[in-house]
Amino acid sequence: MLKKIHIAVLFAVLISTLPIARINSDFAQAGNYSGSSTYVGGIIWDNTTWTAENSPYIITETVQIPGDVTLTIEPGVLVTKPTYGDMFLVKGTIYAHGTVDKKIIFDGGGNSNFFNMDASNSLTVLDLEYCIFKNGNSFWYSTKSAQWASLSLKHSELYNLLTSSNMYYFRSTGHKIYIEYNKFINSAGFLIGTDFDVYAYIQYNLFNGNVGPVLRIKPTCTGRIIIKYNSFINIQGIALELCISIDQDAAKNYWGTTDKAVIDSIIYDGNDDIRIRGFIGYLPILTEPHPETPTLPIVADFTYNPSTLYAYGTVTFNASTSFGLYSAIANYTWDFGDDNVTTTSSPTVKHTYTTPGSYNVTLTVTDEFGFQNSTVISLTVLEDDVPPITVDNYDGEWRNADFTITLTATDFESGVAETYYRINDGTAKAVSVHGQPLIRTEGANNILEYWSIDNAGNEEAPHNILTNIKLDGTPPTANAGQDRTVTVGENVNFEASATDNIGIASYEWNFGDGTIGTGQTATHTYMKPGTFTVTLTVKDLAGNKGIHAITITVKASQEPLQTWAISAIIVIVSLITIIIAKVFWKRRNK
């Protein structure tokens, strides 16, 4: 329901940090003390312009604007007040129109009010466009309950303001108050009221992260407040508060939700306080931000890879450098410029262009509150007329078991679509389906034919032919001879025989006593008796082994008796002879 009401509005506007432009001015009582800054303060008695040439302006005491004086501030000017107090005491006119590229910045230094309106009258005018108000106390400070000024605040940004602004009651008949197309972020709000047929238009504003009631409405029967097409996002507390018993219409605003219970929780009216007999009607609501309402700062940015693009090649687009300063990214919408559009929750996406040409790729980033920003990159897609190149990793050596030859294809334009091969004139196969070629046929003359095709359809020609692929899994037959018996110290000759389909590469003997030998023939001498197993190992050219073992029995040798042994025997025989002779002699003499 739209009713005549007098409203008090709490604003808070967050603005993105912007580079401070150097600006200068002609100020009646200004002293240029630093050479680069202009110090100002006190009463301006004549119409004055603050210029970008003399910026920044540093206010040392409240600048006062009498009723018949206009202060004009040029685009790009910076105004600061580092000390406590009011920047301006206004009875006359302040005209501050910046531009999109050169905004006028008012920095309150964390402890200053911007405009004291206690001296205002029906001729007082604040006309502000493309301005930034930051780090201050109150935007509009007044101790009076009646305001006569005219206010136009458009396309501006207010953030980090600590104290609410009391803007009531506007009583200049025929005046209109415009608060439109602004951003209010992380700030205190406004109490605003109108009377005497004064209309206040609060439209197309973004309120995000504000503290306390964003708009406190204090109506009368003759004033009117229009609250429409605003976005109320992430409000810390009450968004709209009705302070008197007259209904207020707040339809066609965006609340960041369609949940009526949530919206009701941030509206304070007769449903919450029996002393308030008026109500705020907010239906119908906007389901998305009004296109003319400012949005939260969102950076839309993306890259693509590879840097040189070809038709039928895969392009990877990456928007991970996109972000919201005060919100999370919800989705990414890609218009690839070839009548293909897709929306993803992931910042990366792949795409293939089928026709060479130039394309404008548009990325639209949407945050959690529905705000959007877009960016466009123009790219060129070239025609691919160069086929891929394929190589193999076979080294020409024999293998003794089934083995795989790896084929590697390279294409620097559209990319490799598939690699094919044929073994020994067999059926053509695809690597992606059948895997890499597997050699299973024994022999020295296996043949592998292979080639690749790229995404643009270019076929590698002529095909690659790899010959003399060698595979042998059959071991040789080894023969070390017959078992034998030998004596210690005897030279034993061994002679191997072997058969193989591709040829013998080596012979190795293990004589069973800890020693080995090589060659088809070998000679060995055993130094002690015993039984020994002699093992012959034969290897062919593919590394296959043939093994045969025989037994060698080694006996001790029969050497002639040594001289000392013979002498001992003679002595023993002589002694026996003497003993026998003595025995017979004694018997005979008896």
> Are 364 and 433 members of one domain?
no
Percent residues over pLDDT 90 in the chain: 71
Q: What is the mean pLDDT of the chain?
A: 88
Q: What is the pLDDT of residue 211?
A: 74
Q: What tokens does 201 get?
A: 């238009």
pLDDT higher than threshold 50 for residue 15:
no
CA distance 590 to 585: 9
pLDDT higher than threshold 80 for residue 333:
yes
CA distance 228 to 254: 9
Q: What is the pLDDT of residue 201?
A: 93
Q: Are 126 and 115 in contact (CB under 8 A)?
A: yes
| Matching residue, tokens 């059926």 | 427
Amino acid at 400: N
Q: What is the pLDDT of residue 306?
A: 94
- Tell whether the torsion through CA atoms of 368, 369, 375 and 381 is positive or negative: positive
In a domain, 582, yes or no: no
Q: What is the pLDDT of residue 585?
A: 66
Q: Are 407 and 419 in contact (CB under 8 A)?
A: yes
> Are 222 and 344 members of one domain?
no
pLDDT higher than threshold 60 for residue 325:
yes
CA distance 9 to 227: 10
Cis peptide before 306 (omega within 30 of 0): yes
Taking Cα atoms as reference points, which of 392, 381, 389 lies closest to residue 412? 389
Q: Which residues partner with 366 through β-bridges?
A: 331, 372
> Are 146 and 251 members of one domain?
yes
Q: Is 354 or 187 the better-scoring residue by pLDDT? A: 354
Q: Which domain holds residue 212?
A: 38-281
Q: Which burial class, exposed, middle or buried, applies to 369 when counting CB atoms under 10 A from its CB (0-12, 13-18, 19+)?
A: buried
Q: What is the pLDDT of residue 551?
A: 96
Tens digit of pLDDT for each residue in 380-400?
Answer: 999 999 999 999 999 999 999
Q: What is the pLDDT of residue 18?
A: 31
Taking Cα atoms as reference points, which of 534, 531, 530 lies closest to residue 522? 534
> Are 186 and 90 members of one domain?
yes
> Are 302 and 347 members of one domain?
yes
pLDDT higher than threshold 50 for residue 138:
yes
Cis peptide before 462 (omega within 30 of 0): yes
How many domains does one find in the chain?
A: 4
Taking Cα atoms as reference points, which of 325, 444, 311 lies closest to residue 381? 311
Residue ending a domain, among 344, 364, 382, is: 382
Q: Is 576 or 511 the better-scoring residue by pLDDT? A: 511
Confidence of residue 217 (pLDDT cuts 50, 70, 90): confident
Among 169-178, 286-295, 487-496, name the one with the lowest average pLDDT: 169-178
pLDDT higher than threshold 60 for residue 8:
no
Q: What tokens does 283 get?
A: 């239906």
> Are 274 and 136 members of one domain?
yes
Percent residues over pLDDT 70 in the chain: 89
pLDDT higher than threshold 50 for residue 9:
no
pLDDT higher than threshold 50 for residue 29:
no
Q: What is the pLDDT of residue 183?
A: 95
> Are 489 and 467 members of one domain?
no
Neighbours of 578 (CB within 10 A): 10
In a domain, 179, yes or no: yes
Q: What is the pLDDT of residue 98?
A: 98
Amino acid at 104: I
Confidence of residue 4 (pLDDT cuts 50, 70, 90): very low
> Are 86 and 200 members of one domain?
yes
What single-letter DSSP state applies at residue 570? H
- Coil vs helix vs strand at 253: coil
Amino acid at 399: R
In a domain, 17, yes or no: no
In a domain, 365, yes or no: yes
CA distance 363 to 352: 16
Confidence of residue 359 (pLDDT cuts 50, 70, 90): very high
pTM: 0.61
In a domain, 308, yes or no: yes
Among 222-236, 334-348, 504-518, name the one with the lowest average pLDDT: 222-236
Cis peptide before 297 (omega within 30 of 0): no
pLDDT higher than threshold 90 for residue 224:
no
Residue ending a domain, among 471, 506, 528, is: 471
Q: Is 31 or 485 the better-scoring residue by pLDDT? A: 485
> Are 174 and 321 members of one domain?
no
Q: What is the CATH number of the domain that holds 439?
A: 2.60.40.10
In a domain, 574, yes or no: no
Taking Cα atoms as reference points, which of 322, 421, 411 lies closest to residue 371? 322
> Are 115 and 163 members of one domain?
yes
Q: What is the pLDDT of residue 450?
A: 98
The whole-number average pLDDT for the span 476-504 is 94
Tens digit of pLDDT for each residue in 189-209?
Answer: 888 877 767 788 999 999 998
**Largest Cα–Cα distance in the chain?**
189
What does the buried/exposed string (b/e) look like for 454-476 if buried means 16 or more CB atoms within 10 Å of the residue's CB?
A: bbbebebeeebebeebbbbeebb
- Tell whether the torsion through CA atoms of 302, 304, 309 and 312 is positive or negative: negative
Tens digit of pLDDT for each residue in 56-70?
Answer: 999 999 999 999 999
> Are 146 and 255 members of one domain?
yes
Taking Cα atoms as reference points, which of 182, 181, 144 lies closest to residue 161? 182
Q: Which residues partner with 88 through β-bridges?
A: 63, 115
The whole-number average pLDDT for the span 499-520 is 94
Q: What tokens does 344 get?
A: 């993803």
pLDDT higher than threshold 80 for residue 235:
yes
Q: Which residues have CB under 8 Å from 207's CB, separation 6+?
A: 11, 12, 13, 184, 185, 214, 230, 231, 232, 233, 235, 239
Q: What is the pLDDT of residue 379?
A: 97
CA distance 411 to 420: 15
Q: What is the 3-state secondary structure (H, E, C) of 255-301?
A: CCCCCHHHHHHCEECCCCCCCCCCCEECCCCECCCCCCCCCCCEECC
In a domain, 209, yes or no: yes
Alpha helices, DSSP H, located in 375-513 = 431-434
The whole-number average pLDDT for the span 207-234 is 82
Confidence of residue 146 (pLDDT cuts 50, 70, 90): low
Tens digit of pLDDT for each residue in 538-585?
Answer: 999 999 999 999 999 999 986 554 555 667 777 888 888 888 877 776
What percentage of the chain's residues is helix, strand, coil (to nearest 5)? 5, 45, 50
Residue ending a domain, among 382, 408, 440, is: 382
Q: Are 268 and 22 in contact (CB under 8 A)?
A: no
Q: What is the pLDDT of residue 346?
A: 97
Confidence of residue 3 (pLDDT cuts 50, 70, 90): very low
Taking Cα atoms as reference points, which of 51, 61, 45, 43 lies closest to residue 25? 51
The whole-number average pLDDT for the span 118-145 is 89
CA distance 455 to 306: 15
What does the buried/exposed string (b/e) look like for 291-318 if buried means 16 or more CB atoms within 10 Å of the residue's CB?
A: eebbbbbbebebebeeeebbbbbebebe
In a domain, 1, yes or no: no
CA distance 367 to 298: 8
> Are 409 and 369 members of one domain?
no
